[in-house]
Amino acid sequence: MTVDAQGISTDDGAMPWSELAAVSVSKLDAIVEVIACLTFDHISGHCLEVTDKAPGFQAVMDALNRHLPLPAGWQDTARRMGPDDPVLVLWRPGQRS
- Going from the C-alpha of 61 to that of each of 21, 31, 32, 38, 44, the distances in angstroms are 17, 24, 24, 8, 23
Q: How far apart are CA 70 and CA 62, in angstroms?
A: 11
Could you give phi then psi for residue 4, rounded to 5 degrees?
-145, -170
Which residue, 60, 67, 66, is CA-closest to 25? 60
Considering the chain, what percentage of its residues have pLDDT values greater than 70?
A: 97
Q: What is the amino acid identity at position 21? A: A
Q: Rounded to two decimals, what is the model's pTM?
A: 0.90
Q: What is the mean pLDDT of residues 73-86?
A: 96
Q: How far apart are CA 24 and CA 87, in angstroms?
A: 7
